[in-house]
């Protein structure tokens, strides 16, 4: 046995680190935990993270709550033989008082921890409303003594016998001590003997010991997340997962609902809307792709049958008893980032509420996502899969001869119809696309350089001369061979109308370095007369080329992978017209069609040029 007085000598430093970790930037989704308190000392378990502000800022200004004591052991080696009361001589306690305020040792309210809260004696009853970020319950159980814990039951009263009904043997060997309010003494804390008629509320903490040893039961099911106790997609995340385990010896039906976040407290990031959540459904054997089930508030689709509107309680899973195959399920969530509302940097948030059919447990998880930037360097390709045919059908006379029509320059065969039907190609033709967006405007590039500048900062540049000469080995040059090259490498501006981007690329007829009709050393294709002393006009030996590209962005596909990971890409229809300019005003236009995909490889908004 280890005496309490020798425990937690370093608790002050540990608590400081705990509070620092909890106030690091995180997703902001909000819910209010209501704690029904009485005058005197009350035991409270928090399932929300209220560390966004100091205790003095989240407490009522009228001083109704006079003291808050946090019990946070730093080691599982502790042995506690009897319920503890807050005292300055015990190193396992850290306190805040209304009078000391910012000078108190305890400054932040962290979740999954238990507290003693002192309500002033003049208040018969008091509802303490605390807004914070909901997190999944978590507790490090010690089998060597008492544990100061709370159970996240739904709102309303819950009987101890009912709560432990799935594991009655646990309740038979358990010691439970409550603090119903009032002064510390023989009635506070007090041991619970009549478990059939004694009730408790969500947020009420108790001292509990189980003589049978290690205990993992804190409700009929368990939600297990890796890392954070909430789901944060951040600026670029698309998928997250957690597991739900049945902890009872009977079949359990677990339901999931989506609730809107409450309004953010003053000084916190505002919530602009609900994140477009996607639940991964069953695997389609025909396509080998998972179905996508969109989630919304008061979701009525069932995971097994998303078309069934008869289930009013949300997505549900039926889990066999603990230990049997299928008694736990992995829930895979995604987000359709292309459907996020607001401008870059805005936050969307909601609450995932997970409950069991018996109404014994309620786990609230916060979900947040930040609308990402579109600025940066996007690289991908267009794939030409169709060419509009330019086939003419000539008019013929009764005997089958072509009909000649008079023109200003003589005559020409009379065209009856021009076939402009898009026909498929034998093999798709790829063409690289390089697009840079500065946050407002986009440009198309023939080539780009990505590397370090002389100050070793990562840059996106139009010229190699902007890169560090000694770091060229780690730099990248990306080129689009189908676009006309120029020494200046000036980008072509793109205009956006709706979801369609348009860019125009003109190649003069007399530009020998890029015009495909000019062969500088071929006398019939050099744009010079027979004496090589005069430049010929357009249309004699070469033609001007004007290419107009349209990129029509399309929504992601309907399967889970397309709705989530695909939402970070830019996909759509590629449409290009090629206008050949001949002598005078004579032109001929060709058209190709296909698809395109571009991905952002750098988020740098500045193009060095």
CA-to-CA distance for 565 and 585, rounded, in angstroms?
Answer: 48
pLDDT bin (cut points 50, 70, 90) of residue 566 is low
% of residues, the chain, pLDDT over 90: 59
**Which 3 state secondary structure label does DSSP give 236?**
coil
Predicted pLDDT at 79: 55
Mean pLDDT of the chain: 86
The token pair at 189 is 């804390």
Contact predicate 77/9, CB 8 Å:
no
Provide the whole-model pTM. Answer: 0.77
Q: Which helix (H) or strand (E) holds 562?
A: helix 560-564
Predicted pLDDT at 301: 37
Per-residue pLDDT tens for 60-104? 888 999 999 998 765 544 556 678 778 766 568 899 999 999 999
**195 vs 8: which has the higher pLDDT:** 195
Predicted pLDDT at 153: 95
Per-domain boundaries in the chain? 4-210, 221-370, 376-391+421-608
The token pair at 263 is 């309004």
- Statement: residue 324 has pLDDT above 90: yes
| Residue 528 CB-density burial (10 A; 0-12 exposed, 13-18 middle, 19+ buried) | middle
Per-residue pLDDT tens for 492-518? 999 999 889 999 999 999 888 889 898
- Statement: residue 476 has pLDDT above 90: yes
Predicted pLDDT at 312: 46
Q: Which residues contact 572 (CB under 8 A, 6 or more apart)?
A: 499, 551, 552, 553, 554, 595, 596
Q: What is the 3-state secondary structure (H, E, C) of 374-428?
A: CCEEEEEEEEEEEEECCEEEECECCCCCECEEEECCEEEECEEEEECCEEEEEEE
Predicted pLDDT at 487: 93
Contact predicate 525/518, CB 8 Å:
yes
The token pair at 39 is 């005058």
The sheet carrying 328-335 orders its strands as 221-224, 239-246, 328-335, 277-284, 289-294
Q: What is the 3-state secondary structure (H, E, C) of 159-224?
A: EHHHHCCCCHHHHHHEEEEECECECCECCECEECCCCCCCEECCCEEEEEEECCCCCCCCCCEEEE
% of residues, the chain, pLDDT over 70: 89
Report cis status (omega within 30 of 0) of the bond before 189.
yes
Predicted pLDDT at 597: 94
Stretch 528-545: mean pLDDT: 88
Pairing of strands 231-232, 362-370: parallel
- Statement: residue 191 has pLDDT above 70: yes
- Statement: residue 25 has pLDDT above 80: no
**Which 3 state secondary structure label does DSSP give 233?**
coil
Q: Which CATH class is domain 221-370?
A: mainly beta
Contact predicate 113/139, CB 8 Å:
no
Stretch 548-557: mean pLDDT: 89
Per-residue pLDDT tens for 350-401? 999 999 999 999 999 999 999 988 899 999 999 999 999 877 888 888 888 8
Predicted pLDDT at 489: 96
Maximum Cα–Cα distance across the chain: 120
- Statement: residue 213 has pLDDT above 70: no
Contact predicate 353/362, CB 8 Å:
yes
- Name which of 333, 294, 331 is nearest 316 in CA terms: 331
CA-to-CA distance for 362 and 356, rounded, in angstroms?
Answer: 8
What is the per-residue DSSP string for 337-368?
A: GGG--SSTT-EEEEEEEEEETTS--EEEEEEE
- Statement: residue 11 has pLDDT above 70: no
CA-to-CA distance for 386 and 573, rounded, in angstroms?
Answer: 11
Stretch 535-553: mean pLDDT: 92
- Statement: residue 278 has pLDDT above 60: yes
């Amino acid at each position: 046995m280890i005496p309490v007085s020798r425990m937690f000598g370093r608790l002050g430093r540990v608590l400081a680190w705990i509070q620092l970790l909890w106030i690091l930037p995180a997703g902001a989704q909000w819910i209010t935990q209501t704690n029904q308190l009485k005058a005197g000392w009350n035991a409270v378990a928090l399932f929300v993270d209220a560390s966004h502000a100091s205790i003095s800022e989240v407490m009522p200004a009228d001083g109704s709550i006079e003291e808050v004591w946090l019990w946070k052991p730093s080691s599982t080696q502790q042995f506690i033989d009897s319920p503890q009361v807050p005292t300055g001589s015990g190193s396992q306690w850290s306190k805040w008082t209304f009078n000391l305020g910012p000078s108190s040792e305890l400054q932040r309210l962290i979740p999954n921890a238990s507290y003693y809260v002192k309500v002033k004696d003049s208040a018969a009853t008091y509802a303490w409303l605390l807004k914070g970020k909901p997190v999944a319950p978590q507790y490090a159980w010690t089998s060597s003594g008492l544990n100061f814990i709370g159970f996240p039951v739904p709102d309303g009263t819950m009987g101890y016998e009912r709560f432990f009904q799935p594991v009655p043997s646990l309740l038979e060997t358990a010691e439970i001590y409550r603090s119903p309010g009032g002064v510390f003494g023989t009635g506070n804390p007090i041991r619970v003997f009549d478990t059939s008629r004694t009730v408790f509320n969500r947020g009420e903490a108790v001292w509990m010991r189980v003589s049978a040893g290690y205990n993992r039961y804190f409700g009929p099911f368990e939600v297990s997340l890796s890392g954070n106790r909430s789901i944060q997609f951040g600026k670029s995340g698309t998928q997250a997962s957690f597991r739900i385990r049945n902890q009872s010896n009977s079949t359990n039906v677990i339901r999931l609902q989506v609730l809107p976040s409450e309004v953010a407290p003053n000084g916190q990031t505002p919530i602009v809307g609900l994140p477009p959540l996607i639940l991964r459904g069953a695997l389609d054997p025909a396509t080998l792709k998972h179905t996508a089930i969109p989630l919304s508030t008061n979701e009525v689709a069932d995971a097994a049958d998303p078309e069934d509107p008869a289930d009013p309680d949300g997505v549900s899973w039926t889990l066999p008893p603990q230990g049997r195959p299928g008694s736990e399920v992995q829930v895979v969530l995604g987000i359709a980032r292309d459907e996020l509302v607001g401008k870059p940097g805005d936050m969307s948030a909601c609450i995932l509420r997970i409950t069991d059919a018996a109404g014994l447990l309620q786990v609230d998880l916060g979900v947040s996502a930040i609308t990402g930037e579109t600025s940066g360097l996007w690289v991908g390709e267009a794939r030409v899969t169709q060419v509009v045919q330019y086939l003419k059908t000539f008019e013929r006379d009764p005997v089958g001869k072509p009909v000649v029509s008079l023109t200003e320059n003589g005559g020409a065969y009379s065209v009856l119809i021009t076939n402009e039907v898009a026909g498929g190609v034998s093999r798709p033709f790829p063409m690289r696309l390089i697009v840079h967006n500065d946050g407002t405007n986009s440009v198309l590039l023939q080539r780009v350089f990505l590397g370090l500048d002389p100050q070793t900062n990562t840059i996106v540049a139009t010229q190699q001369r902007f890169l560090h000469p000694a770091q060229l080995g780690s730099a990248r040059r990306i080129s689009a061979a189908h676009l006309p090259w120029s020494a200046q490498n000036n980008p072509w501006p793109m205009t956006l109308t709706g979801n369609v981007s348009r860019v125009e690329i003109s190649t003069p007829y007399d530009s020998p370095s890029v015009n495909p009709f000019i062969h500088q050393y071929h006398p019939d294709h050099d744009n010079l007369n027979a004496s090589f002393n005069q430049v010929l006009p357009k249309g004699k030996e070469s033609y001007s080329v004007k290419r107009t590209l349209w990129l029509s962005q399309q929504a992601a596909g309907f399967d889970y992978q397309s709705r989530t990971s695909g939402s970070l890409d830019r996909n759509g229809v590629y449409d290009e017209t090629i206008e050949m300019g001949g002598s005078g005003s004579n032109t001929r236009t060709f058209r190709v069609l296909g698809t395109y995909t571009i991905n952002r490889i750098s988020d740098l908004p500045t193009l060095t040029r």
